[in-house]
Amino acid sequence: MVGELRCYEIFADYFQFYLWDGRYHPDDLGVFTDEECARHVKVAPHALVIMPVRNMTVPVVLDLRDAAPADPNLTEWDHVVDVSLTLPSGELELEAWQEEPIDRISVAPGSYRVRVCLGGLDTLSEDGLEGDDHYRLTLWPAPEAPLTAWKQYVPSPGRP
């Protein structure tokens, strides 16, 4: 798993896609709070909901690591948070809204951290359909810990 990169083009229907345990994720993710939407990630038991800024196909890189990465380069990203994800089955799935899994990856069962990075957020067209926004999820084994917000995106005036 050392620095294994996987690249995807994901249709973020309803402004969301999921990283979760393939056997134990919840069927109902509940109501999304304003705070979760501002963080662009919702944490649920054995599941993360990633919330891109476009309701379109977006580029996503999944970076699988054996150890924690260095602190993020905050000039490279508009928004960066670290969250915990527990994978009791060791079956990591990446999935779009109401779709079959995009990818299934075997990992060691246990607790992980996921760094959620969003970039290019101010590149969206006025209608929000086009843009050079991009997303990177870095996953590594780690004990559960509270959310760490490295950088919070604040839209430019007139932007969503």
Give the contacts of 57 (CB within 8 A, at least 6 positions apart): 9, 10, 11, 12
Go through 25-59 and write b for each residue having 16 or more CB atoms within 10 A of its CB, e for each that does not.
beeebeeeeeebeebbbbbbebbbbbbbbbebebb
* d(C-alpha 131, C-alpha 93), whole Å: 26
Q: 160 pLDDT exceeds 70?
A: no
Q: What is the pLDDT of residue 1?
A: 54
The answer to whether residue 65 sits within a structural domain is: yes
In a domain, 158, yes or no: no
Does the residue 92 lie in any domain? yes
Note the pLDDT of residue 159.
57
Q: Answer whether residue 24 is part of any domain.
A: yes
In a domain, 160, yes or no: no
What share of the chain has pLDDT > 70, as a percent? 96
Specify the pTM.
0.92
Q: List the strands of the sheet with 4-11, edge to edge.
A: 4-11, 57-64, 134-141, 110-119, 79-87, 148-151
54 within some domain: yes
User: Which residue did the predictor score with more confidence, 4 or 22?
Assistant: 22
- Residue 158 pLDDT: 63
Q: Has residue 157 been placed in a domain?
A: no
pLDDT of the residue at 2:
60
Place of tokens 């957020």: 121
Looking at residue 112, which CATH number applies to its domain? Answer: 2.60.34.30
Alpha-carbon distance of 133 to 85, in angstroms, equals: 24
| pLDDT, mean of residues 9-33 | 89
Answer yes or no: is pLDDT of 129 > 90: no
Please report which residue ranges of 11-127 form alpha helices under DSSP H: 34-39
Structural domain of residue 36, as residue ranges? Answer: 4-151
Q: Rounded CA gap, 89 and 116, in Å?
A: 22
Residues 120 and 79: beta-carbon distance below 8 Å: no
Residues 139-160, mean pLDDT to the nearest whole number: 88
Structural domains counted in the chain: 1
**pLDDT confidence tier of residue 137, bands split at 50, 70 and 90:** very high
Collapsing DSSP states into helix, strand and coil, what is residue 10?
A: strand
For the record, the structure tokens of 127 come out as: 């209608």
Section 95-115 average pLDDT: 92
Please tell me the predicted confidence (pLDDT) of residue 29.
85
Q: How far is it, in rounded angstroms, from Cα 45 to Cα 29? A: 9
For 53-97, how does the pLDDT look when each residue is reduced to its tens digit (9 = 90+)? 999 999 999 999 999 999 999 999 999 999 999 999 999 999 998
Average pLDDT, the chain: 92
